[in-house]
Amino acid sequence: MSVVRVLIVDDQVMIRSGIRALLETGEGVDVVGEAGDGHRAVDMARALVPDVILMDLRMPVLDGVGAIVRLRDDPVTADIGILVLTTFDTDENVLAALKAGANGFLGKSADHEELMRSLARVAAGGTSLSAVATDTVVGHLAHTARRHRPHEQASPEDLRKAATLTAREREVTTLVARGLSNDAIAERLFISPLTVKTHVNRAMSKIHVRTRAQLVVAALRAGLLND
């Protein structure tokens, strides 16, 4: 079994210690470092190049969103998996973090099993919107994009990109934005998970996004959930 190398980023020492202790109760994870702010996280990520960064959003010096932007802009760190640690009911930067390139979200109250599953998915290049987190994350994004951020409404460019999707790609993208996994989408549409993955990848290419999480943002901006 391959070991997932993890960098923990949170400004609270107690939380970092708790996450480290949770990770170290099992096998398959190597905590390679800890950082208390986004600036330090970027420096450590460049030096250590971990498989996954567990990233808090609210931190001094440089917050999580700012750190994600810098990580994605640097060729050395651009492909590192980023799993955001958040309290969904209070973090207002969830949408910004997704747009910046976060690969997923995990509540700080997650248990060991959920944390390990999320790390494995992100380390493998996937997106982690876990069963516990999906409804909350997607609901928060929809609520924010539709009601509290009028400037986030679809631009002509957003609509143009969405219009390039085939009917099936649009349907699959909408289900992704509603939080369904590839397997769940395949079951609902009576197609194979591999076919779903192909549709997702084509949609991401046409909309010009790099991650499944960014595809969710694009779908919300283009109003696909209003269909």
Q: Which percentage of the chain shows pLDDT scores above 90?
A: 41
Whether residue 55 is predicted with pLDDT greater than 50 in this model: the reply is: yes
3-class state of residue 9 by DSSP: strand
User: What domains sit in the chain, N to C, each tagged with a CATH number?
Assistant: 4-143 (3.40.50.2300), 153-226 (1.10.10.10)
Beta strands in 42-134 (DSSP E): 52-56, 81-86, 104-107, 128-129
The string of pLDDT tens digits covering residues 95-146 is 778 778 888 888 777 788 888 888 888 888 767 665 445 555 555 655 555 5
pTM of the model: 0.69
